[in-house]
Structure 1
């Protein structure tokens, strides 16, 4: 019996995403940690947090859950305790990735539009506190995920596998958690990103008009360093935000149409349109964890320079090793 096309796509797509996503995010973390990209310390904290969350998504959500657990169903990863921990971490990782993106958007809004507040908020200490608080809240918020699954088999008094707990998802707390999770990971982030970006654009347009009038010569505006810095900042901000929304949009729509529970209970054939839509949404939302390294490479010249230096380093090291021998 032939495998459904969607399963074949998953078997090809997830290994490729892992192969490119892991080294890309590792390289991003290494480059940002060096602090040579000309970024402020608070921006670096948020970008490092996003890269770390994306790395964990690729490693745990994609590699451990979608690849190893799928291809090696009898490994220790399939023990119920391990399986439930992996499922819990898949939710935590995605939540952190989403809300670090929101916090980065809010930080840029404050830096550009709230001149008095930015000196208190846009600091390394404040950004570290924000990232730590978000991580703690996400860990606490997803504790119900441990109770959302139960063992699938009992072999030699050992629990194996994970399946959705019908008792949990049919209960009032279970349904409330589902809808709260949907709002937390989709609608609240979407609305906040759109709101902050809209206010940021308005503030930049007003500031640029005022600056142009003060300078009195529009032709010189192109050489204005402050305007150029704002332009670069807003390009990166919008690219990160818009790409995030587009890649998560399919998942958001499928989540609403299937009300999530249909996907959790789903045990039918893999040609069902609802299942295909849900899996396609998963493809795209996980692809968002590879987007930021690409965006930094395209929009940040100093990041590209550091990336080129990193790529050249092994070739520079070879002559030294050969010379020492």
Structure 2
């Protein structure tokens, strides 16, 4: 997840957004470069989203399906899933390469990426566009919500049963229950993941539906105060942000990750002090 999210930041934010703003005419502005960049961005985003789904499935099995945990929650299964997600994400993103055409041709060199007019009129492109949006983020929306809801229901049911057992025990007086506290943290984590994913992708989804329902083209002009541009770019910005938040939420809430991060910081500080001495 961290690797896929880092690839999103490098490809979509650094090489696409920052380079496009501060270096508007560069190697990345050539049509082959920007089309390949687009494919990498889609593939990285796809991997980021579906690895989040895979991690949600893993947590669901580990918490709710104890009989399947030993079989599926293994390093081998994780490696296979990561490989399949990466491969399928790349294959699914290849058609985006053919969506663009050169905006200018100067000295036989194609420059910039312009969306082909057939993208808005071709039945094949329309079908693929819908297919791509259903697989990301439509299906991940549903899977994350469903699995997290089932996980929360399982945790609440187990917690009620545990409270009944403790209520009948002789050691129930005002004693803290580490197991209950752990389950409460799990519920907060699951709701945070679901909420952040849905909220940050919502503008992007609404913009896509608006464009398809109204038959409006995506913004490609120069009037950056136009509401269509603000809506479209806000959705893109929040969607890119979503690729970073889930990894941070999952990682920072893990005790082992915090310990490793603290050890890394202490080691770095000791090395700096040693070098200075």
In structure 1, how many angstroms separate the alpha carbons of the residues matched to 2:17 and 2:102?
18
- Give the structure 2 partner of residue 291 of structure 1: 245
The residue that corresponds to 2:193 in the other structure is 240
Match of 1:205 in 2: 156
* CA spacing shift, 1:164–1:265, aligned 2, 3 Å: farther
Q: In 2, Cα distance between the equivalents of 1:199 and 1:316? A: 46
CA separation in 1, counterparts of 2:3 and 2:175?
Answer: 36
Structure 2: how far apart are the matches of 1:164 and 1:265? Answer: 10
Map of 1:312 onto structure 2: 266
1:258 matched to which residue of 2? 211
- Residues 1:123 and 2:77 are matched in the alignment: no
Structure 2: how far apart are the matches of 1:271 and 1:135? 37
Cα distance in 1 between the residues matched to 2:250 and 2:174: 25
Match of 1:155 in 2: 106
Whether the 8 Å contact between 1:79 and 1:159 is mirrored in structure 2 is yes
Equivalent residues of 1:148, 1:169 under 8 A apart:
no
TM-score, normalised via structure 1 length: 0.76
Distance 1:298 1:142 in 2: 31
1:107 aligns with 2:27: no
Given the two structures, how large is their TM-score scaled by the length of structure 2?
Answer: 0.89
1:72 to 23, 34, 39: 23
Take 2:24 and 2:239, find their aligned partners in 1: how far apart are those partners?
Answer: 25
CA distance in 1, matches of 2:121, 2:266: 56
Q: Distance in 1 between matches of 2:111 and 2:148?
A: 46
Q: 1:303 aligns with which of 254, 257, 264?
A: 257
2:136 pairs with 1:185: yes
Distance 2:76 2:234 in 1: 39
8 Å Cα contact 1:112/1:200 also seen in 2:
yes
Which structure ranks higher in relative contact order (CA pairs < 8 Å, sequence separation ≥ 6)? 1
Of 35, 60, 71, the residue aligned with 2:11 is 60
Alpha-carbon separation, structure 2, partners of 1:180 and 1:99: 15
Alpha-carbon separation, structure 1, partners of 2:173 and 2:53: 35
Deviation at residue 274 of structure 1 after TM alignment: 2.3
Question: CA shift at 1:270, angstroms?
Answer: 2.4
Q: Which residue of 1 aligns with 2:126?
A: 175
Going from structure 1 to structure 2, the CA distance change for 1:118 and 1:301 (only over 3 Å counts) comes to closer
1:82 equivalent in structure 2: 33
- How many aligned residue pairs are there? 274
1:22-63 per-position Cα deviation (integer Å, ceiling 9, x unaligned): xxxxxxxxxxxxxxxxxxxxxxxxxxxx11111011110011
Task: Specify the SS of the correspondent of 1:173.
Answer: helix
Distance in structure 2 (CA, Å) of the matches to 1:280 and 1:265: 12
Matches within 5 A, 1:214-233: 214-215=165-166, 216-217=168-169, 219=172, 223-233=176-186
Q: 1 CA distance for matches of 2:175 and 2:113?
A: 59
Rounded Cα–Cα distance in structure 2 between residues aligned with 1:222 and 1:259: 57
Instruction: Give the drift of 1:176.
Output: 0.7
Deviations 1:256-314 (A, max 9, x none): 11239745353363222222111111121112233245425753344333333333333
CA RMSD between the two structures: 2.4
Per the alignment, in what secondary structure is the counterpart of residue 266 of structure 1?
Answer: coil
Q: Distance in 2 between matches of 1:220 and 1:181?
A: 55
Shift in Å at residue 67 of structure 1? 0.9
